[in-house]
């Protein structure tokens, strides 16, 4: 069975600073990996995804993530955060049946 | 603009009442998911369907929850009888095929008093 761990429940970052959110997964085969963002009262929006190929993937809103098989990680990064990036971020792993398993989420607070 | 539509957006009901939540997946999508989100448990997969057939509903309390897809344009999640611990946001999501992203609806916020 697949599982996802997001070690950081809460991160505070200054506007303009860089951001990195950690994600570790457990899955027996090559996983499908996703990062979603959720603003308050909203559904989840896909930021980016990894299926195969280049291990550095670019997403929307200036986000990128790097798949590292040796570390079972798929960390999300942004070089310079904006106040509008304050939200909750979820990492997810999908199996060959399409079942998505989400991590617990990381709440990002952006300070002026 | 294709989107997953969930109704109602908010529901307050008394304990013991039946609750039905509806989801209209994106036209052409053949996979539908139901998730429940709470502060304590996060996002839990309750059930998911492929081509209207249930693939996995092991996340659902079987005695009170049921999920169906009467047709390709409608998925339903019913709780009968509802309990205060069922208070949560219920999300429906749909996808096209294995490995592609799931598109989420806005959710139904359920409060059982």
**What is the residue-averaged pLDDT of chain B?**
93
Measured between alpha carbons, how far is A13 from A82 in angstroms, rounded to an integer? 10
**What pLDDT shows up at residue A48?**
95
Measured between alpha carbons, how far is A86 from A111 in angstroms, rounded to an integer? 9
What are the structure tokens assigned to A34, written together?
A: 């996703």
Q: pLDDT-based confidence at B14, cuts 50/70/90?
A: very high
Q: B70 and chain A: CB distance < 8 Å anywhere?
A: no
pLDDT digits (tens, 9 = 90+) for B92-111: 999 987 667 889 999 999 99
Measured between alpha carbons, how far is A36 from A14 in angstroms, rounded to an integer? 21
Q: pLDDT-based confidence at A28, cuts 50/70/90?
A: confident
pLDDT digits (tens, 9 = 90+) for A58-110: 999 999 999 999 999 999 999 999 999 999 999 999 887 778 889 999 999 99
* Contact check, Cβ <8 Å, A44/B98: no
Count of A-B CB contacts under 8 Å: 55
In the predicted structure, residue B13 carries a pLDDT above the cut 80 = yes
In the predicted structure, residue A13 carries a pLDDT above the cut 80 = yes
Q: Are A81 and A63 in contact (CB under 8 A)?
A: no
Q: pLDDT-based confidence at A4, cuts 50/70/90?
A: very high
Q: pLDDT-based confidence at B2, cuts 50/70/90?
A: confident
Q: Strands A19-21 and A64-68: what pairing?
A: unpaired
Q: pLDDT-based confidence at B61, cuts 50/70/90?
A: confident
**What is the residue-averaged pLDDT of chain A?**
93
What are the structure tokens assigned to A3, written together?
A: 């599982």
For the CA atoms of B75, B81, B85, B88, the dihedral, rounded to the nearest 10 degrees, stands at 20
Q: B96 and chain A: CB distance < 8 Å anywhere?
A: no
**Nearest residue to A48 via CA among A66, A32, A36:** A36
Q: B87 and chain A: CB distance < 8 Å anywhere?
A: no
């Amino acid at each position: 069975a697949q599982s996802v761990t997001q070690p950081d429940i809460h991160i505070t970052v200054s506007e303009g600073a860089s951001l990195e959110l950690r994600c570790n997964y457990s899955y027996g085969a090559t996983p499908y990996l996703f990062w979603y963002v959720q603003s308050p009262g909203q559904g989840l929006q896909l930021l980016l995804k990894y299926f195969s190929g280049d291990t550095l993937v670019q997403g929307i809103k200036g986000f990128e993530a790097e798949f590292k098989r040796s570390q079972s990680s798929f960390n999300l990064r942004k070089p310079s955060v904006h106040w509008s990036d304050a939200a909750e971020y979820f990492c997810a792993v999908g199996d060959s049946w399409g079942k998505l398993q989400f991590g617990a989420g990381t709440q990002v607070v952006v300070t002026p | 603009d294709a989107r997953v539509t969930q109704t109602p957006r908010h529901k307050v009901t008394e304990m013991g009442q039946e609750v039905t939540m509806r989801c209209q997946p994106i036209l052409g999508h053949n996979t539908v998911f139901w998730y429940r989100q709470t502060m304590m448990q996060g996002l839990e997969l309750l059930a998911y369907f492929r081509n209207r057939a249930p693939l996995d509903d092991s996340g659902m309390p079987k005695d009170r929850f049921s999920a169906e897809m009467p047709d390709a344009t409608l998925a339903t999640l019913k709780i009968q009888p509802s309990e205060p611990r069922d208070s949560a946001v219920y999300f429906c999501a749909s996808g096209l095929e294995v490995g592609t992203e799931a598109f989420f609806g806005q959710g139904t916020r359920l409060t059982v008093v």
